[in-house]
């Protein structure tokens, strides 16, 4: 019985702490956009901060999967996503996507070429 009580008090607390970084990332993302003059009303489908956050989350999902940032968006919305929004998402919501890509190993010359 005691272990159930302990589990019931620990699990919600763990979830609360796990959710905090996501909110901080969203706030940082919106602050990044706002501080650089992003105009929500000028971007189709991204006319509210919550719409911009959803777009930022999708940008991060795309980048984490090795896809172009604007992939999986309606064409009209994709065409309206400025580089600023991609930069904001990468810097504030998914900074791990900023890591440099590994340098490809040069191919060995064919036999007889020296």
Tell me: the pLDDT tens digits for 2-51? 555 554 554 554 444 444 445 558 999 999 999 999 988 766 667 889 88
What percent of the chain has pLDDT above 70?
Answer: 65
Of residues 16 and 71, which shows the higher confidence score? 71
Instruction: Enumerate residues 6+ apart whose C-beta is below 8 A from 60.
Output: 89, 90, 93, 94, 97
Domain-located, residue 101? no
Give domain status of residue 12, yes or no.
no
| Cβ atoms within 10 Å, residue 107 | 6
Please determine, for residue 101, whether its predicted confidence score (pLDDT) is greater than 60: no
Q: Does residue 78 fall inside a structural domain?
A: yes
When divided into structural domains, the chain yields a total of 1
Q: What is the pLDDT of residue 111?
A: 77
**Domain housing 33:** 25-96
Residue 1 has a pLDDT of 55
């Amino acid at each position: 019985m005691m272990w159930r009580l302990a589990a019931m008090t620990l699990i919600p607390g763990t979830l609360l702490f796990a959710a905090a970084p996501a909110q901080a990332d969203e706030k940082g993302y919106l602050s990044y956009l706002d501080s650089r003059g992003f105009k929500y009303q000028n971007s189709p489908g991204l006319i509210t901060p919550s719409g911009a956050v959803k777009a930022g989350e999708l940008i991060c999902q795309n980048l984490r999967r090795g896809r172009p940032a604007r992939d999986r968006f309606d064409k009209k919305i994709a065409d309206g996503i400025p580089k600023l929004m991609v930069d904001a998402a990468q810097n504030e919501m998914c900074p791990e996507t900023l890591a440099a890509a590994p340098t490809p190993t040069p191919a060995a010359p064919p036999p007889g070429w020296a």
